[in-house]
Amino acid sequence: WEDREQTLFRSTAVGDDMDRALVKSDGSFTYFAADVAYLKDKVERGFVDLIYVLGADHGGYVKRLEALARAVAGDSVKLTVLLCQLVKLFRDGEPVRMSKRSGDFVTLRDVVEEVGRDPIRFMMLYRKNDAPLDFDFAKVTEQSKDNPVFYVQYASARCHSVFRQASEQLGEANFDRNRLAASVAALADEGEIALIRKLAEYPRLIESAALSLEPHRLAFYLYDLASGFHAQWNRGHDNQDLRFVKVNDRESTYARLGLVQAVSDVLTSGLTLIGADAPTEMR
């Protein structure tokens, strides 16, 4: 131990457990000094809602950030710290071993290059931030209902497939969106009504997810909507009276196409918010 002068932030005066060092013994600034400058800059630029996203291993940082916000801005800003649990990588059901000491680790770039952007973005949101994520390379690329991102994107592609089929069978290259929307009122099947109710939840779902800082709600919703759409498509496959396209019944066809268009619009909107593609066909 060697006594020396040190520049400290007196954070105990604003609720922290201990005063925090701002300058190291070699004269360079600490990580916390950078946090001070960054938070002060945000406050000076007029931000009043400050949201920090930290790993679960940085839980001890919460109190010092709260103290810093009080010292810099008093009660004029709202500081929220979200702790995210760690991600565990699996390959063929076995955990991928990583070690900093041996230099054996997998970067995010490696994962993107192997499985693509969309699976990562969707799966990172397909859980609450405080829940651990087991990321299995095989599972996020398989084409099945057990792969949420595939299941949702497949629903998007299937919507477009319905319209291509309708164009071929009805001889119409384009469909009037206003006419389709107006025709939806004719729908009466329980599966169709369930889809309409699910679609009606979307605006409030987006609002609640934003206000609660819980984007996983959107990923869950998209999966549920896709499940409902796939179920209705399967019912039409088994019962021709429930098919989306009925050449001899244009009234019900337009009504169902209006429903398919609405499902497609919401899936596209939700996937776009997540940062994933809404494909028109699966490749």
**What pLDDT digit, counting tens, does each position of 50-83 carry?**
999 999 989 999 999 999 999 999 999 999 999 9
CATH topology of domain 148-274: Isoleucyl-tRNA Synthetase; Domain 1 (1.10.730)
- Kindly state the tokens that stand for 179: 């006419």
Report whether pLDDT(179) > 90: no
- Kindly state the tokens that stand for 27: 């004269």
Per-residue pLDDT band at 172 (split at 50, 70, 90): confident
Report whether pLDDT(189) > 90: yes
Give the model confidence (pLDDT) of 86-129 as tens digits: 888 998 888 888 776 777 778 889 889 999 999 999 999 999 98
pLDDT of residue 273: 97
Mean pLDDT, range 172-177, rounded to an integer: 81
In the numeric block, the tokens 């039409």 are attached to 236
User: Could you give the CA distance from residue 22 to residue 145 in angstroms, rounded to a whole number?
Assistant: 51
Mean pLDDT, range 3-27, rounded to an integer: 90
Mean pLDDT, range 21-37, rounded to an integer: 93
Backbone angles phi, psi at 109, to 5 degrees: -60, -40
Check residues 232 and 146 and name the one with the higher pLDDT: 232
Query: Of 38, 49, 52, nearest to 83 (Cα)?
Result: 52
Report whether pLDDT(10) > 60: yes
pLDDT of residue 1: 56
Counting every residue written for the chain, the total comes to: 283
Which of the listed ranges 96-105, 130-139, 243-252, 257-266 does the model predict with the highest average pLDDT? 257-266
User: Could you give the CA distance from residue 228 to residue 246 in angstroms, rounded to a whole number?
Assistant: 20
* CATH 1.10.730.10, the chain: domain bounds: 148-274
